């Protein structure tokens, strides 16, 4: 075999192993519930033991509230089945919206009311109530077309080392998934359970609140809730979670 052929063969083998590695990495993405303790998993599945159901019930009430209610346009909240699995998504005007952003936009544009605002109790409640209607359904976000630039922006954020600890998201949620960190088990970080009730928060919170906590953890800048960077990252995380079941409202340690 000539030197040129050996080089070509080595290159092809390297590409093959790279492809296998990428496929293996994709196959390693697991539902976040797999990383929960058995006790937390049981509580997440039991509305009578899940504190997040208080927000769900409030959201179901808000759905019907007012003359120009959500229900007056969409009908019963059951019509929201599958909606959460498709967000974040690009709106007609080119803006990337997550489920919270879509709800607040409906409120300002169609109900003529001021926005609830990120992390407000009413928005968390409505988001939890809507997301519940997709529980168990596979994530199926669109990543092509207008969403593609946002996806790449989110990928860059995920892969970039940040903060004083000089860590990228994947160094925890890919390389260390399944290992313990301060008594917790590191998951793949796919965000399918948000909004989630976290025991260390003692309340329900959004994915962006969790992302801010991650930024703080690596000693990086905490970006505003609803920032373009976190929205793009949320889309990338959802793309990693394609096919994984929605768990919202989740229960986390």
Report the run of H or E that residue 90 belongs to, with start and end. Answer: strand 89-90
* Paired tokens of 4: 């040129």
Asked if residue 200 has a cis previous peptide bond (ω within 30° of 0), the answer is no
- From edge to edge, which strands make up the β-sheet containing 203-205? 203-205, 196-198, 250-252
C-alpha span between 167 and 160 (Å, rounded) = 8
C-alpha span between 10 and 19 (Å, rounded) = 14
The bridge status of strand 89-90 relative to strand 96-97 is antiparallel
* Paired tokens of 253: 């340690």
122 alpha carbon, distance to own chain's centre: 19
Give Cβ neighbours of residue 34 (< 8 Å, ≥ 6 apart).
187
Give me the catalytic one of 70, 169, 172, 214: 214
C-alpha span between 159 and 152 (Å, rounded) = 10
Active site residue 214: yes
C-alpha span between 148 and 236 (Å, rounded) = 10
- DSSP code of residue 245: B
**Tokens 């990693």 found at:** 240
CB 178 within 8 A of CB 186: yes
**Tokens 């209607």 found at:** 133
Active-site residues, by number, are: 214
């Amino acid at each position: 075999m000539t030197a040129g052929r050996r080089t070509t063969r080595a290159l092809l083998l390297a590409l093959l192993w790279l492809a296998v590695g990428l496929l293996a990495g994709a196959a390693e993405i697991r539902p976040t519930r797999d990383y929960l303790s058995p006790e937390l998993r049981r509580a997440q599945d039991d509305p009578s033991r899940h504190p997040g159901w208080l927000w769900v019930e409030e959201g179901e009430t808000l759905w019907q509230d007012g003359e120009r209610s959500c229900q007056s346009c969409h009908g019963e909240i059951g019509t929201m089945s599958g909606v959460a699995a498709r967000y974040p998504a690009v709106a007609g005007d080119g803006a990337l919206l997550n489920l919270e952003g879509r709800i607040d936009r409906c409120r300002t544009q169609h109900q003529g009311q001021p926005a609830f605002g990120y992390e407000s109790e009413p928005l968390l409640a409505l988001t939890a109530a809507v997301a519940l209607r997709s529980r168990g359904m596979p994530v199926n976000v669109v990543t092509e077309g207008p969403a593609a630039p946002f996806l790449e922006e989110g990928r860059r954020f995920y892969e970039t080392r940040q903060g004083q600890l000089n860590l990228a998201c994947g160094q925890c949620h890919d390389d260390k998934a399944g290992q313990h960190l301060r008594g917790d088990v590191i998951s793949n970080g796919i965000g399918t359970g948000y909004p989630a009730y976290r025991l260390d928060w003692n309340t329900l919170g959004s994915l962006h609140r969790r992302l801010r906590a991650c930024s703080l953890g690596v000693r990086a800048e905490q970006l505003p809730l609803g920032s373009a960077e976190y929205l793009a990252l949320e889309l990338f995380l959802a793309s990693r979670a394609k096919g994984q079941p929605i768990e919202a409202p989740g229960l986390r340690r």
